[in-house]
Amino acid sequence: MNDQVTREETVEILRLAEQALPVAGDFVELGCYRGDTSVLLGQLLREYNSLSAISSKGIATVSPVGNPDFTCGKSVEKSAISCGKAVENNHKTCGNLVDKSVHKSVQNSSLETNQTSQPGLKQPKKLWIYDSFAGLPEKTREDASGAGANFQAGELLVTKREVVDKIRKHGLKNVIIKKAWFDDLNDKDLPARIAFAFCDGDLYGSIKTSLRLVYPRLAEQGIIIVHDYNNPELPGSARAVDEFLRARPEFKLQVRRTLAILTKR
């Protein structure tokens, strides 16, 4: 929905994020660029947290847990598609459309009362965003590609202020933004458990480090998405994913457009 992640990819990301909502743990995004995907993920979590707060007070409400009729993701997809141009123009209207659509679809879902199976509802889910805010790092030999001559060190630079302002503009809470190179992150910088991870570091080293950070914290039914998996301009992304899969055969791979979707078998 921006010049790096297509509208179709954004729809798929949101669909999988909705699928991960009932999984215990927070959402993380490693590499946020302009924060467009961050806003949509944040809005999804806001609606879910709002629902969780009502449920925790003992009021019968709706939940996507174990509910095949839960349609939040489909509504988000429709909103994401219908307001694609708005997203490209800094989310002038998309945020409200997604919020309303998600809330309406959640309200129309069937009732779920077994909260012992809903560990994700105990605490509000957070969105953790990590980016260098200094553009791309230097490439390694694994990133070598004649097609990717544009992706040089410092490319795709967006300031932290721009992303912070966008998050604030949409009134999103429970969002943590960390400015750092991925290699400089440590345990205290990451959530204890991760339900959903979107890794968009572009280059081999960034994706390899992202997977190393996410793996030990990923919940049993958690989902990892890596962008640019089969992008000829950025071959390092696929190389890092393939290495990860060879070392951890318990994960299976699905590829949709340039998204590598990793889940445990």
DSSP code per residue over 95-120: HHHHHHHHHHHHHTSPB---GGG-GG
pLDDT at 55: 65
- Angle formed by the axes of helices 7-20 and 72-82, to 10°? 160
The structure tokens listed for 61 are 């409400």
Phi, then psi, of 189 in degrees rounded to 5: -85, -10
User: What pLDDT is stored for residue 204 in this prediction?
Assistant: 96
pLDDT tens digits, 167-219 = 999 999 899 999 999 999 998 999 999 999 999 999 999 999 999 999 999 99
Going edge to edge, which strands form the sheet with 218-226? 175-179, 127-131, 26-30, 194-199, 218-226, 259-264, 251-256
> Any idea which of 117-121, 161-165, 229-233 has the lowest mean pLDDT?
117-121
3-state secondary structure of 175: strand
The single residue listed with the structure tokens 């009932």 is 22
Instruction: Assign a CATH topology to domain 7-264.
Output: Rossmann fold (3.40.50)
CA dist 1 and 82 (Å) reads: 11
pLDDT at residue 3 tops 70: no
Q: pLDDT, tens digit, for every residue of 37-82?
A: 999 999 999 999 988 777 666 544 444 433 333 444 444 545 454 4
Kindly tell me if the per-residue pLDDT of 21 is higher than 60. yes
The runs of H, that is alpha helices, within the chain are 7-20, 36-56, 72-82, 84-88, 94-107, 160-169, 204-214, 235-247
Residue from 68, 25, 30, 29 nearest 48 by CA? 25
Q: Is 127 helix (H, G, I), strand (E, B) or coil?
A: strand
Q: Are strands 259-264 and 218-226 parallel, antiparallel or unpaired?
A: antiparallel
In 3D space, the residue among 227, 202, 230, 197 whose CA is nearest the CA of residue 212 turns out to be: 197
Q: What angle do CA 32, 174, 260 make, to 5 degrees?
A: 35
* Those residues with Cβ within 8 angstroms of residue 213's Cβ, 6 or more apart along the chain or in another chain: 30, 182, 185, 190
